[in-house]
């Protein structure tokens, strides 16, 4: 027994608390620690199958019934965590907003004999927050509402929380985390906390349970070996998208990330249609390399009409930047930013799918593989297979999987 610890998450809705809680919990479990999450939102939804507590009014400061019910839920979560730790539980994670000092004082009192650490999640990235709100609108608790109404409802809920928000201040053990950048902004620890070094490590590391990195299906431009553009899928490409959908039908994929280009969206839609529910989030960061003056030309035409481009790019493909366009090297930052969004928006233990492009997928893959820069533009990126990437603190694996066959042993994860 390595000691007991209580972690209480803090932060406004949609700031990445649950993803962080899961990441901490699952990684500790892999280390052999008995950790568990106590999530107030989940409890609320279980206690209210009708969805009456999903309306913004429920969260209004003036709603006495709502307040009482939220207090009851919080106390129930606390009691469950206490029971867990009184048994063989080691780390209890209270996943809730916990944004008032009063609520936090209650938590401190309930666990006065145990080490307790508050972890506050902030996210200063507006775009990531907006995308996260879009995702929340797809949650089952907003079933029955239009997307717009669901979004409005969630935004109003946040506004109610903002009115009562009291950031961490004088709690003895507290960490302020930027959940988008996976970094620790402030840290104040006044006693020796079990697992603390490991938890710091987990907070700042990006792990991938299952990332399916797919290239879009065949396009009309691919047929002619044309560069860039916004071409649609050919019949074969549509067929590839259907085959992917069939292949992943038994693998739960709650979000598919694409670029803004038609070909990735057309590939993702049939896959999403076989999943229930599934959000498609199009990120401009995953748009294909912009080939500047070479956009829409075939490689052959580039050799004929712009021989200096072919001459200069050939020997130095990674560093080469297309005139009026991008290069692998200049694209790296935006692709990395896209990946940060992916990690922020996806719940840690869920499968992730990215439907991207040849160059973009190479850049994504290179984030996980240790490859020399010069090798990146030559990474094999076929359209009839996808990369299955798994990275956890204990192992790393990369597999190139043909999708016309049945899903392998990981089906149903």
Q: Shortest Cβ distance from residue 133 to ligand F6P (Å)?
A: 31
Min dist CB 213 to ligand F6P, Å, is 14
Candidates 71-79, 109-117, 194-202, 287-295: pick the segment binding ligand F6P (CB under 6 A).
287-295
Q: Please say if 347 is a catalytic residue.
A: no
Q: Is the dihedral of CA 145, 150, 154, 156 positive or negative?
A: negative
Q: Confirm or reject binding of residue 227 to ligand F6P (CB under 6 A).
A: yes
Beta carbons of 81 and 6 less than 8 angstroms apart: yes
Over the window 290 to 319, marking each residue x when it contacts ligand F6P by CB under 6 A and - when it does not, the resulting string is -x----------------------------
User: Where on the phi/psi map is residue 177: left (φ > 0), alpha (ψ -120 to 50), or beta?
Assistant: beta
Query: Does 233 help bind ligand F6P (rule: CB under 6 A)?
Result: no
Minimum separation from the CB atom of position 384 to ligand F6P (A): 15
Neighbours of 363 (CB within 10 A): 24
Q: What is the C-alpha to C-alpha distance for residues 159 and 139, in angstroms, rounded to an integer?
A: 19
Give whichever of 39 and 266 is closer to ligand F6P, judged by the CB atom. 266
Q: How far is CA 172 from CA 115, 188, 197, 198, 238, in A?
A: 10, 7, 17, 19, 57
214 binds ligand F6P (CB under 6 A): no
326 binds ligand F6P (CB under 6 A): no
Out of 289, 364, 376, 389, the only residue in the binding site for ligand F6P (CB under 6 A) is 289
The radius of gyration computed from the CA coordinates of the chain, to the nearest angstrom, equals: 24
Closest CA to 398 of 212, 205, 202: 212
Q: Does 288 bind ligand F6P (CB under 6 A)?
A: yes
288 is an active site residue = yes
In the complex, the smallest distance separating the C-beta of residue 20 from ligand F6P, rounded to whole angstroms, is: 35
Question: Which residues contact residue 71 at a Cβ distance below 8 angstroms, ignoring those fewer than 6 apart?
Answer: none
**Residue 200 vs 319, nearer CB to ligand F6P:** 319
How many angstroms from the chain centroid is the CA of residue 259? 15
The reply to whether 363 sits near ligand F6P by the rule CB under 6 A is no
How far CA 297 is from CA of 110, 292, 294, 324, in Å, comes to: 67, 10, 6, 14
**Backbone conformation region of residue 14, classed left if phi is above 0, alpha if psi is from -120 to 50, else beta:** left
Q: How far is the CB of 351 from ligand F6P (least distance, A)?
A: 25
Question: Least distance in Å: CB of 246 to ligand F6P?
Answer: 25
Q: How far is the CB of 240 from ligand F6P (least distance, A)?
A: 15
Q: How many chain residues interact with ligand F6P (CB under 6 A)?
A: 9
388 binds ligand F6P (CB under 6 A): no
| Between 6 and 291, CB nearer to ligand F6P | 291
Tell whether the torsion through CA atoms of 40, 46, 47 and 48 is positive or negative. positive
Q: Is 263 a catalytic residue?
A: yes
Residue positions counted in the chain:
413
Kindly give, in sequence order, each residue whose CB lies less than 8 Å from that of residue 98, ignoring residues fewer than 6 positions away. 8, 9, 10, 104, 107, 118
Decide whether 119 or 363 has the Cβ nearer to ligand F6P.
Answer: 363
Nearer to ligand F6P, 104 or 215 (CB): 215
Phi and psi at residue 115, to the nearest 5°: -65, 140
Q: Does 358 interact with ligand F6P (rule: CB under 6 A)?
A: yes
Query: Does 359 engage in binding with ligand F6P (CB under 6 A)?
Result: yes
Catalytic residue among 120, 171, 218, 288: 288
Q: Which of 222, 287, 351, 361 is catalytic?
A: 222
160: Cβ contacts below 8 Å, ≥ 6 apart: 56, 59, 60, 61
As measured in angstroms, the least distance from the Cβ of 218 to ligand F6P is 10
With contacts defined by CB under 6 A, name the span among 33-41, 99-107, 193-201, 354-362 that binds ligand F6P. 354-362
Catalytic residue at 350? no
User: What gap in Å lies between CA 171 and CA 189, rounded to an integer?
Assistant: 9
Q: Could you list the residues that contact ligand F6P (CB under 6 A)? A: 227-228, 288-289, 291, 357-359, 377
Hey, which residues are catalytic here?
A: 215-216, 222, 263, 288, 357
């Amino acid at each position: 027994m390595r000691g007991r610890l209580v972690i209480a998450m803090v932060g406004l809705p949609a700031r990445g608390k649950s993803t962080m809680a899961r990441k901490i919990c699952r990684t500790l479990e892999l280390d052999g620690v008995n950790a568990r999450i106590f999530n107030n939102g989940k409890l609320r939804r279980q206690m209210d199958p009708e969805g009456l507590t999903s309306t913004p009014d429920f969260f209004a400061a003036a709603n006495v019934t709502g307040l009482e019910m939220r207090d009851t839920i919080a106390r129930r979560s606390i009691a469950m965590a206490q029971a867990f730790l009184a048994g063989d539980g080691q780390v209890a994670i209270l996943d809730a907003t916990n944004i008032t000092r009063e609520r936090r004082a209650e938590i401190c009192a309930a666990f006065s004999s145990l080490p307790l650490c508050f972890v506050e999640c902030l996210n200063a990235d507006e775009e990531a927050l907006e995308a996260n709100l879009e995702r929340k609108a797809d949650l089952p608790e907003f079933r029955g509402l239009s997307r717009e109404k669901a979004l409005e409802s969630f935004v109003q809920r946040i506004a109610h929380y903002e009115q009562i928000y009291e950031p961490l201040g004088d709690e003895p053990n507290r960490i302020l985390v930027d959940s988008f950048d996976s970094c620790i902004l402030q840290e104040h620890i006044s006693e020796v906390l079990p697992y603390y070094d490991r938890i710091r490590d987990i907070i700042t590391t990006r792990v991938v349970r299952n990332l399916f990195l797919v290239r879009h299906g065949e396009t009309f431009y691919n047929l002619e070996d044309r560069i860039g553009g916004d071409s649609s899928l050919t019949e074969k490409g549509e067929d590839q998208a259907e085959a992917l959908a069939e292949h992943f039908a038994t693998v739960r994929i709650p979000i598919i990330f694409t670029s803004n280009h038609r070909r990735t969206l057309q590939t993702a839609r049939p896959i999403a249609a076989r999943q229930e529910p599934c959000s498609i989030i199009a990120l401009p960061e995953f748009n294909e390399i912009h080939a500047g003056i070479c956009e829409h030309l075939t490689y052959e035409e580039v050799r004929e009409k712009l021989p200096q481009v072919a001459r200069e790019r050939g020997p130095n493909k990674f560093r080469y930047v297309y005139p009026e366009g991008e290069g692998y090297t200049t694209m790296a930052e935006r692709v990395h930013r896209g990946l940060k969004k992916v990690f922020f928006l996806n719940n840690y233990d869920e499968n992730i799918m990215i439907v991207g492009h040849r160059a973009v997928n190479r850049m994504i893959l290179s984030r996980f593989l240790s490859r020399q820069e010069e090798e990146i533009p030559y990474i094999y990126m076929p359209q009839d297979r996808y990369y299955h990437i798994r990275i956890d603190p204990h192992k790393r694996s990369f597999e190139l999987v043909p999708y016309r066959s049945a899903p392998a042993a990981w089906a149903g994860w």
